[in-house]
Amino acid sequence: MDFRQKLESKYREILTNYLADRSEQALYQGQKLSRNAIERNIPPEEIVSIHRNIMAEMFPEKFNDKMQESFDILLEVMVAYGFAYREHQNLKHIQQELRTEMEIAANVQKTLLGTEVPCKKGMDIGAISVPAKHMNGDYFNFVEDENNSVSIAIADVIGKGLPAALCMSMIKYAMDSLPENRKTPTLVLENLNRVVEQNVDLTMFITMFYGTYHIDDHIFSYASAGHEPGLFYHAETQTFSELPAKGLLLGIEKNTKYRKYEKEVMPGDMIILMSDGVTESRTKEGFIEREELLALIEKNIHLKAQNIVQNVYKELEKLQDFQLRDDFTLIILRRNVLS
């Protein structure tokens, strides 16, 4: 007996049982049968046809011509549903394939954009970056160089998902290609600005922050291309202030010049960098207030930098019901107290 015959005899059995006692048990059997039929890709019109045939067989007199003919309409309608149902099945399959492809792409991206958080004596660094979808449109990178300094880049493509991720790969490649002597913050931004201006279409904008921490004299020099402002924590007064920085987004104007800023870092001070996914974390009441973010950092301030960024992310994730609206990147650099 092939599956269709089995289905028909099972349907007959269930129908007979139901017409005899109208039990919930028979109805439940019907539901189970449908699950089975769906698994085997039996379209709805097939079931209607089985129903009609069995009725005609069981009640040759009562199930008269008019009753039978009425099923022609039902059958026709169900063919259309079957038509849509098969398309839906196939689209589900395609969606699964796309998902797999995206997961692979996300892994490729992780490898491509991967960076190690440096361990430098006298410094404590923490970083977290979480994409809203599969692919990350945020990017951060650490570079250590022989002059005993640590450079940090953080960038955000306006937009998210695949287009943003493709764009980020380009930024990473362009940055890796810069010669060593051109890696001061302003030169990096000016170079990348030209790359972006030439290679990216007009609807895509990139914000970027680039800073270099000189460990010998504890000066943090930086420049910003329209990036979300960083924060500075003064350990002595236990207060936060904004890291002032002005500059045009990357890719807007070919010959943009960027201004260099400097900040002296005292023991216990922290530099806090982020993408707008942090400040635009949204709860039911709207964007989170800056005070809320500062309070979250303060609450964890006694911890290592890596634990601070992780805890802040966890809390904000919870506040948003675990649905990130934008890629989220948060980085903290702290000058150790004993150094």
Interacting span for another protein (CB under 8 A) from 86-94, 108-116, 197-205, 306-314: 86-94
Question: Contact between 338 and another protein (CB under 8 A)?
Answer: no
Question: Contact between 190 and another protein (CB under 8 A)?
Answer: no
Q: Which of 9, 64, 70, 90 binds another protein (CB under 8 A)?
A: 90
Question: Contact between 1 and another protein (CB under 8 A)?
Answer: no
3-class SS letters over the chain: CCHHHHHHHHHHHHHHHHHHHCCHHHHHHHHHHHHHHHHCCCCHHHHHHHHHHHHHHHCCCCCCHHHHHHHHHHHHHHHHHHHHHHHHHHHHHHHHHHHHHHHHHHHHHHHHHCCCCCCCCCEEEEEEEECCCCCCCEEEEEEEECCCEEEEEEEEECCCCHHHHHHHHHHHHHHHCCCHHHCCHHHHHHHHHHHHHHHCCCCCCEEEEEEEEECCCCEEEEEEEECCCCEEEECCCCEEEECCCCCCCECCCCCCCCCCEEEECCCCCEEEEECHHHHCCEECCEECCHHHHHHHHHHCCCCCHHHHHHHHHHHHHHHCCCCCCCCEEEEEEEECCCC
Question: Contact between 8 and another protein (CB under 8 A)?
Answer: no
Question: Contact between 45 and another protein (CB under 8 A)?
Answer: yes
Question: Contact between 315 and another protein (CB under 8 A)?
Answer: no
Q: Which is nearer to another protein, 25 or 70 (CB)?
A: 70
CA dihedral in degrees (216, 219, 221, 226; nearest 10)? 130
Interacting span for another protein (CB under 8 A) from 59-67, 75-83, 183-191, 297-305: 75-83
Question: Contact between 49 and another protein (CB under 8 A)?
Answer: yes
Question: Contact between 79 and another protein (CB under 8 A)?
Answer: yes
Interacting span for another protein (CB under 8 A) from 79-87, 123-131, 144-152, 285-293: 79-87
CB environment 72-83: b (16+ within 10 A), e (fewer): eeebeebeeebe
Residue 286, strand partner residues: 283
- Residue 223 to residue 245: CA distance in whole angstroms: 7
Q: Which of 76, 145, 262, 289 binds another protein (CB under 8 A)?
A: 76
Question: Contact between 86 and another protein (CB under 8 A)?
Answer: yes
Question: Contact between 72 and another protein (CB under 8 A)?
Answer: yes
Interacting span for another protein (CB under 8 A) from 70-78, 106-114, 144-152, 236-244: 70-78
With CB under 8 A, what is the number of residues at the site for another protein? 16
CB of 87 to another protein, least distance (A): 5
Q: Which of 27, 67, 80, 266 binds another protein (CB under 8 A)?
A: 80
The closest of 285, 325, 290 to 130, measured between CA atoms, is 325
CB of 104 to another protein, least distance (A): 21
Question: Contact between 91 and another protein (CB under 8 A)?
Answer: yes
Question: Contact between 115 and another protein (CB under 8 A)?
Answer: no
Asked if residue 176 lies in contact with residue 191, where contact means CB atoms within 8 angstroms, the answer is: no
Q: Which is nearer to another protein, 67 or 91 (CB)?
A: 91
Question: Contact between 81 and another protein (CB under 8 A)?
Answer: no
Q: Rg of the chain's alpha carbons, rounded to an integer? A: 31
Question: Contact between 3 and another protein (CB under 8 A)?
Answer: no
Q: Which of 5, 22, 65, 94 binds another protein (CB under 8 A)?
A: 94
Q: Which is nearer to another protein, 18 or 85 (CB)?
A: 85
Interacting span for another protein (CB under 8 A) from 69-77, 121-129, 196-204, 288-296: 69-77
- Judged by the rule CB under 8 A, the positions of this chain that interact with another protein are 45-46, 49, 52, 72, 75-76, 79-80, 83-84, 86-87, 90-91, 94
